[in-house]
Amino acid sequence: MARVALAPLILLAGGCAWDGPMSSITSASDFSRAILHVYAIITWATAIIGLIVFVALAYILVRFRARPDAPPPSQVRGHTLLELGWTIGPALVLLMIAIPTIQVIFRTETTAAPQGALQVTVRGWQWWWEFRYPDLGVVTANELHLPVGRTVVLHLEGPDVIHSFWVPHLGGKRDVVPGRNNRIVLTPDRAGEHWGQCAEFCGASHANMGMRVITEPAAEFDAWVTRQKADPVEPSGLAADGKAVFAKSACVGCHTIAGVSAGGLGPNLSHFGGRATLAAGMWPNTPDNVAAWVRDPQRLKPGAKMPELGLTEDQAKALAAYLTGLK
Ligand code: CUA
């Protein structure tokens, strides 16, 4: 019985990992650090106020409890000092919270970025993320790489509906609105893997619109850029069959693979095999998962814009071998 009662508690506590990949109380940038600073002030202020209130309440409950032959307590009405006290006190508390909050809102809303900041265009599509590095000539999807210590300007663009870019380790949510140039300026300050999620309901697969951000030392970031710019290696064996399947199926209409196809509606697949996850963070990027995905995207990701391709199991396996080989 006790074990049954404990089970939900354990499940609940399991969500409390301090430094989980989507924890909003772990920081990996100046933006999230500024938010955590305000969060700490509010948490401490409310904890101290709560403590004072509960201690006073406990004391009053015991000290002034009803006794059998006690006379009625004295009644207080229109006490100017009390009235002033409980008006000014909360006003001071609100002021104490408002000043750092407003400071941080203005600081994190600023669009000024230093010379040499990395420029990244973020496009929220139904239901995946596109990341373009115009100065580096790199286009990728669902996995954003950023160098530690360099300021980045994320230009948020919405080609279809409203989404919201949210990577808790890196900072607060910001809406991705068609026709509006929203920006986030931040500097990652430690290496790591950070998970993100679309935070604005955007249709059937809103919940399946995840992303990963990899913050890494500058040298590793440069090596990643070099890999992204390299031409895909020519496949052989099963992967070569997969390339043929790709070239004569509907894939080419939507996906770009450098030197093979140029479609602008789906994720760029030139270096698909170098990403750790598939379909906007839904599964690990393994040949088996890719084969299952290309055979039945509509069942695996409701509403996905990728149509049923009518591939046989062998074709799907070959295609998966080709795609996962594109490092
Ligand atoms: Cu995109 Cu929710």
Q: What pLDDT score was predicted for residue 321?
A: 93
Lowest mean per-residue pLDDT among 70-74, 100-104, 134-138, 139-143: 70-74
Does the pLDDT of residue 110 top 80, yes or no?
A: no
| Cβ of 122 less than 6 Å from ligand 1 | no
Distance between CA atoms of 297 and 290, rounded to whole angstroms? 10
Does the pLDDT of residue 6 top 90, yes or no?
A: no
Does the pLDDT of residue 1 top 70, yes or no?
A: no
Distance between CA atoms of 224 and 230, rounded to whole angstroms? 10
3-state secondary structure of 307: coil
Does the pLDDT of residue 12 top 90, yes or no?
A: no
- Please give the distance, rounded to the nearest whole angstrom, from the Cα atom of residue 164 to the centre of ligand 1: 6
- Please give the distance, rounded to the nearest whole angstrom, from the Cα atom of residue 200 to the centre of ligand 1: 5
Kindly state the average pLDDT of the residues 104-113.
84
- Please give the distance, rounded to the nearest whole angstrom, from the Cα atom of residue 319 to the centre of ligand 1: 28
| Cβ of 123 less than 6 Å from ligand 1 | no
Lowest mean per-residue pLDDT among 12-26, 177-191, 230-244, 248-262: 12-26
Distance between CA atoms of 167 and 174, rounded to whole angstroms? 10
Lowest mean per-residue pLDDT among 10-24, 158-172, 214-228: 10-24
Identify the residue with better confidence: 23 or 58. 58
Q: Percentage of the chain with pLDDT > 70?
A: 99
Distance between CA atoms of 129 and 166, rounded to whole angstroms? 11
Does the pLDDT of residue 76 top 90, yes or no?
A: no
| Cβ of 278 less than 6 Å from ligand 1 | no
| Cβ of 156 less than 6 Å from ligand 1 | no
Cα torsion angle, 133, 134, 136, 140, sign:
positive
User: pLDDT tens-digit profile of 17-43?
Assistant: 777 888 888 999 999 999 999 999 999
Domain boundaries, given as residue ranges, for the chain: 118-229, 238-324
CATH number among 2.60.40.420, 1.10.1040.10, 1.10.10.10, 2.40.50.140, domain 238-324:
2.60.40.420
Lowest mean per-residue pLDDT among 4-18, 216-230, 251-265, 305-319: 4-18
| Cβ of 198 less than 6 Å from ligand 1 | yes
| Cβ of 213 less than 6 Å from ligand 1 | no
Q: Percentage of the chain with pLDDT > 90?
A: 72
* Phi and psi, residue 89, nearest 5°: -55, -60
Q: Which CATH superfamily is domain 118-229 in?
A: Cupredoxins -  blue copper proteins (2.60.40.420)
Between vectors from CA 250 to CA 244 and to CA 256, what angle results, nearest 5°? 75
Does the pLDDT of residue 140 top 80, yes or no?
A: yes
Q: Which two tokens stand for residue 78?
A: 């229109």
Closest atom of ligand 1 to 206 CA is 2
**Inter-residue contact 208 to 282 (CB < 8 Å):** yes
Same fold, 118-229 and 238-324: yes
Q: What pLDDT score was predicted for residue 58?
A: 97
| Cβ of 280 less than 6 Å from ligand 1 | no
Closest atom of ligand 1 to 203 CA is 2
| Cβ of 163 less than 6 Å from ligand 1 | yes
Nearest one of 170, 168, 163, 160 to 191, comparing CA atoms: 170
| Cβ of 210 less than 6 Å from ligand 1 | no
